[in-house]
Structure formats: structure tokens, C-alpha cells
Amino acid sequence: MNNFTYYNPTKIYFGRNTIKNIGREMREQGVKKALLVCGRQSIFSNGVYDQVSSSLIGWYVDFIRFSGIQPNPLLSKVEEGVRLARQEGVDAILAVGGGSVFDSAKAIAAGVAHDGPVWDFFTGQARIKSALPIFGVLTLSATGSEMNGNAVITKADEKKKWGIASRHLYPRVSIIDPTVQAWLSERDTVNGAVDILSHVFELYFDGSENVELMQEYSEAIIRCVIKNVKILLENPADYEARAQMAWAATLALNNSNAAGRRGGDWATHDMEHSISAFYDVAHGAGLAVMTPAWMRYVYREDLPTFARFAEKIFGIEKGSLEEKAEKGIEQLREFFREIGAPLSLQDLGVEYRDLEKMAENAVQDRTLGRLKPLQKEDVLAIYQLAWEQ
Ligand code: NZQ
Ligand code: ZN
């Protein structure tokens, strides 16, 4: 187990009827006027907006609405939010939505406190030294953005979907009421499940040694997601299944799972972000395609862990390490098929001729991954596997 520092300042309210706490929390933390950042439609039809606004009004927190955040959120929209936040003199940002809304809220919060362009943070030309306080009401459990300091934003003209991470970007308070996820589409539920699994895989398969507790913890999350997404596909309003999935999503990317490890692999995420930047596909859909392809390309780097995964998750006990590892990857693909996730880049409408440009875009003169460091040629080979599979 490596040395580690664990930092997570986000206070979580979890469960039924918890949204009502948002106004009091913001008031107690001295917020007078907030920018309420939200998506396009869902919170206005499922009662979330009404619950949030009545709590804010009840606690005398003034707010101005900034709606229209789309999946794969755009830099141009973030810049618009920064302008509005300044013009209205807000002293906090409130995200009400899924990961795209949270990520946009975080980028706006950092942008308001910075004189130059927000994109400077993404290119590394500027460091995030402060941000407006961030609060959140989560409506889609997938990304873990409700309890981490990360944000991913797309600069569409350059096809760059890049991330930032800072201790200033943790929400002060996030509210997770699983009941409001009962009306998520099947597709968003499946994409969310795949994203949670992928966050666990990025850490689980990073080649760390002596992380027994973290491996067991990861396997518990994986089993929980596999079981509960199937329940939700039968009954989207099953509260217990939504609740298990919601907390799994938060735990999968709030650093608890990363303790003592090497920092995660993250090549699958980097490769997926390039697909989303080119084709505007949902993050979870891209991950469902890229995960098995990446696994097939790298599993020989750590046969014991891939064999352990096959045994602990899918009960595969017979065979050599290599045979077990291969069966585990095949079973994972079967599971993706069973829940209706896309299986190949062709399913996502990706053109073969774009693979090279996507590989170049994903790598950007770096090396991706940790278990097996990947150059551009490796990434292209994995895209080809993912296209053909
Ligand atoms: O716009 P509305 O109408 O709200 O619809 C949204 C959107 O179409 C809908 N939705 C949200 N809550 C709902 C709902 N529909 C019905 N009922 C509800 N309660 O869901 C759709 C997808 O929303 P989005 O926020 O895009 O999904 P998600 O939470 O999966 O976020 C994905 C984004 O997060 C980034 C991804 O790359 C992607 O851009 N990520 C952020 C991370 C982080 N900050 O730590 C890490 C992740 O790995 C990921 O990269
Ligand atoms: Zn993800």
C-alpha cells in the first residue's frame, strides 16, 4: 500500500426528501445570491426545480437561473455562465442536474475567480487558485462529480474534451435523492452504470500491489452495480436499487477507492473523451465500447488481477490465469450486451477513417495509461479492436 493523503470536504445529504436542505445549507454558509446551473428539461418536469426553488425562497437565498447545459458540456456555455455570474454579482454556484451540469458549474465557479479565459485551466496555462463556493443537487448518478474536484468540458472547435481537477472544485454540499432518478431513460441508466464500473476498473486495473482492501471494496461496488442495473431495467422506480447505484457512483470516484494505489490507469477515459469530442456520444456509451477493447489489449500486463476479476465477479474458477482473464473480459462484454449497451465503435456511428485522427487527439503528445503506457499506435490499435469487435 502506497502512502496517501485523503481529502474530501463535501458534505452529503442522501435519501428521500433531502432536497429541502439546500436552502438552509446555502444560507448558513452565507450565500446571498446563487447562479442555478441546470440542464435542458428534466428538472422542470420531475419536480426537482420546484423543490430546489422553494427551499431557496424559504431560506431567502436569491438565485438566477442558467439553463440549457447539454451532455458533453461546452466551453462556450461555461463562458456564458461566467459572464452571467459576474453581471448578476452572485456569490455561489448551485448545480442541479447530472455530471454535465456539475462539471459546468465547477468550471464557471473557477472562471468567475479568474481574469483570463477559463480554458487556461484546461491547458495548464493557469492554475485554479480559488473558486466561488459550489453546491449541488444531483439528478443522475454516474460521474461522482457530486463528491470530487474534477470537471470535464468540451472545446468544440478544437474537438478537445479535457478535464481539470482542483481542491477548490469540491462541492461544499451535495444532495443525492435517488427518488428523482426514477424517470431516467433506460439509456441514461445503462450509461451511468457503465461509467461507475469504468471508474472502478480504472483504479482496479492500474497495476497496484498490496491493495487487498481496495480490491475487495472495488469488487463490492462492481457486483452491486451489475445486480442493481438489471433490477432497474425491470423496474426503473425501484428505490432500493436506485439508492444502491447512487451511492456506488459516489464511492467509485470520490478518492476513497484510490487510497494507497498508483493513481489509476485512465487510458480508457482518455480514449473515450476523444470519441465524445468527435461524435458527441454519451460518455457511458463510449466506455462500454472501449473498456473490453482496452482490456483485450493490455490484460497480459497483469494476468493475476484480470484472473481475479473473472473469478470474483463472474465466478470463473477453472483454467490458467490467461484463460480465466480472457473469459472474464468476455463475460463483461456479455453483461454489456445484456443491458443493451453499445458493443463496438460501429454501433456508435464512428467512421473507420476517423480512427487515426481520434488517436492523435486522445494522445496529444503524451503517453496514456499506467498499467501499459500507450503511444499513439497503441491507441489506434485499440480503436481498431473496438471498431471491429
Ligand atoms: O438536460 P436534461 O433535460 O436535464 O437531461 C439530462 C441529460 O440528457 C438527463 N437527466 C439528468 N437527470 C435526469 C435526467 N433525465 C431524467 N431524469 C433525471 N433525474 O440525463 C442526460 C445526461 O446527463 P449528463 O449530465 O450529461 O450525464 P452524466 O451524469 O453521465 O454526465 C456525463 C458527463 O460527465 C463527464 C462526462 O465526460 C460527461 O461529459 N464526467 C465527469 C467526471 C467528473 N466530473 O468527475 C468523471 C467522468 O468520468 C466523466 O468524464
Ligand atoms: Zn467516467
Q: Which residue of 10, 100, 278 sits with most ligand 1 atoms within 8 Å of its CB, as the best mutation to test the pocket?
A: 100
Q: Are the C-beta atoms of residues 345 and 264 closer than 8 Å to each other?
A: no
* Residue whose CA lies nearest to ligand 1 atom number 28: 99
User: Any idea which ligand is nearest the CA of 100?
Assistant: 1
* Residue whose CA lies nearest to ligand 1 atom number 7: 71
| DSSP-H helix ranges across 90-238 | 99-112, 119-123, 186-204, 212-234
Q: How many CA atoms lie within 13 A of 74 on its CB side?
A: 13
Q: Which residue of 203, 232, 283 sits with most ligand 1 atoms within 8 Å of its CB, as the best mutation to test the pocket?
A: 283
Q: Which residue of 103, 257, 275 sits with most ligand 1 atoms within 8 Å of its CB, as the best mutation to test the pocket?
A: 103
pLDDT value of position 68: 98
Q: Name the helix (H) or strand (E) containing 384.
A: helix 376-388
Residues 6+ apart with CB under 8 A from 145: 99, 102, 103, 106, 136, 151, 253
Domains and CATH numbers, the chain: 11-180 (3.40.50.1970), 184-388 (1.20.1090.10)
If you count them, how many residues does the chain have? Answer: 389
pLDDT value of position 239: 98
Q: What value does the CA radius of gyration of the chain take, rounded to a whole number of Å? A: 20
Q: What span, in angstroms and rounded, lies between the C-alpha atoms of 212 and 204? A: 10
Kindly give the distance from the C-alpha atom of residue 76 to the centroid of ligand 2, in angstroms, as a whole number.
Answer: 22
Q: What span, in angstroms and rounded, lies between the C-alpha atoms of 149 and 171? A: 8
Q: What would the grid cell of residue 358 be?
A: 481520434
Q: Got the DSSP string for 327-354?
A: HHHHHHHHHHHHTT---STTTTT--GGG
* Residue whose CA lies nearest to ligand 1 atom number 16: 184
Kindly give the distance from the C-alpha atom of residue 49 to the centroid of ligand 1, in angstroms, as a whole number.
Answer: 16
pTM score of the predicted model: 0.98
**317: helix, strand or coil:** coil
User: Any idea which ligand is nearest the CA of 164?
Assistant: 1
Q: Ligand 1 — pocket residues by CB below 6 A?
A: 39-43, 46, 71-73, 97-101, 103, 139-140, 142-145, 148, 150-152, 180-181, 183-184, 188, 191-192, 195, 253, 269, 283
Q: How many CA atoms lie within 13 A of 292 on its CB side?
A: 26
Q: What span, in angstroms and rounded, lies between the C-alpha atoms of 192 and 288? A: 10
Q: What would the grid cell of residue 233 be?
A: 431495467
Nearest to 300 by CA among 318, 324, 333: 324
Kindly give the distance from the C-alpha atom of residue 129 to the centroid of ligand 2, in angstroms, as a whole number.
Answer: 25
Residue spans of beta strands (DSSP E) within the chain: 11-14, 33-38, 62-66, 92-97, 134-138, 150-155, 160-165, 173-176
pLDDT value of position 365: 81
Cβ count within 10 A of residue 84: 17
pLDDT value of position 51: 98
Point out the ligand 1 atom lying closest to the alpha carbon of residue 39. 1
Q: Name the helix (H) or strand (E) containing 50.
A: helix 48-58
Q: Name the helix (H) or strand (E) containing 360.
A: helix 355-363
Q: What would the grid cell of residue 282 be?
A: 454519451
Q: What is the DSSP letter of 74?
A: B
Q: pLDDT in tens for each of the 389 residues of the chain?
A: 999 999 999 999 999 999 999 999 999 999 999 999 999 999 999 999 999 999 999 999 999 999 999 999 999 999 999 999 999 999 999 999 999 999 999 999 999 999 999 999 999 999 999 999 999 999 999 999 999 999 999 999 999 999 999 999 999 999 999 999 999 999 999 999 999 999 999 999 999 999 999 999 999 999 999 999 999 999 999 999 999 999 999 999 999 999 999 999 999 999 999 999 999 999 999 999 999 999 999 999 999 999 999 999 999 999 999 999 999 999 999 999 999 999 999 999 999 999 999 999 999 989 999 999 999 999 999 999 999 99
Q: What is the DSSP letter of 9?
A: -
User: Any idea which ligand is nearest the CA of 103?
Assistant: 1
* Residue whose CA lies nearest to ligand 1 atom number 9: 42
